[in-house]
Amino acid sequence: MWTCPRCGRTFAARNQTHTCAPLGDVETHFARSQPAVRAGYEAALAVVQRLGPVEVLAERTRIAWHVRMSFAAFQPKVAWLDGHLVLAREIPSPRWRRIEVFSARNVLHAFRLLGPDDVDAEFAGWLAEAYDVGRQRHMGR
């Protein structure tokens, strides 16, 4: 792991390109959100925290979850939670708003959660896969 000497963030690659800016706090991102939006976020976070350690990065425009690399990001809105997971494969599902393939093992899956009920067993499975991507367990497969 490499730590940026300016902002203190850690990365898997030395001198990785990033926005070198101070982090904010999660509360600010949810200041205008309905309680169900925050509850959906907390339900997803609880799933990931059961898998292992995760760094929550409250950036200027999003909340990112990071292990060796960022594997999920969230943008709270008033009535829903937009976000994406980075998975090592494309998973077709009507639950995705869009899928962007960046490489064979770097596939962005955008979603929208309305509340904690959307964090069901299927979504929890996707979170576990994304967490493995964050740990870079998908490399070399």
Query: In terms of DSSP bridges, do strands 81-87 and 98-103 run parallel, antiparallel, or are they unpaired?
Result: unpaired
Would you place residue 104 in the very low, low, confident or very high pLDDT band (cuts 50, 70, 90)? Answer: confident
Token digits of residue 20: 């070198």
Residues 19-77: tens digit of each pLDDT: 666 677 999 999 999 999 999 999 999 999 999 999 999 988 999 999 988 999 999 99
pLDDT tens digit sequence for 7-21: 666 666 666 666 666
pLDDT band (50, 70, 90) for residue 105: confident
Q: Is the pLDDT of residue 88 over 90?
A: yes
Please answer whether residues 70 and 59 qualify as being in contact, where contact means their C-beta atoms are separated by less than 8 angstroms: no
Alpha-carbon distance of 1 to 80, in angstroms, equals: 34
CATH T-level topology, domain 24-134: Yope Regulator; Chain: A, (3.30.1460)
State how far the Cα of 138 lies from the Cα of 42, in Å rounded to an integer.
26
Closest by CA position to 69, among listed 55, 49, 52: 55
Quote the pTM value. 0.85
66 with 58: CB under 8 angstroms? no
Q: Give the closest residue to 112 by CA, choosing from 140, 141, 74, 86.
A: 74
pLDDT exceeds 80 at position 85 = yes
Taking residues 108-131, what's their average pLDDT?
98
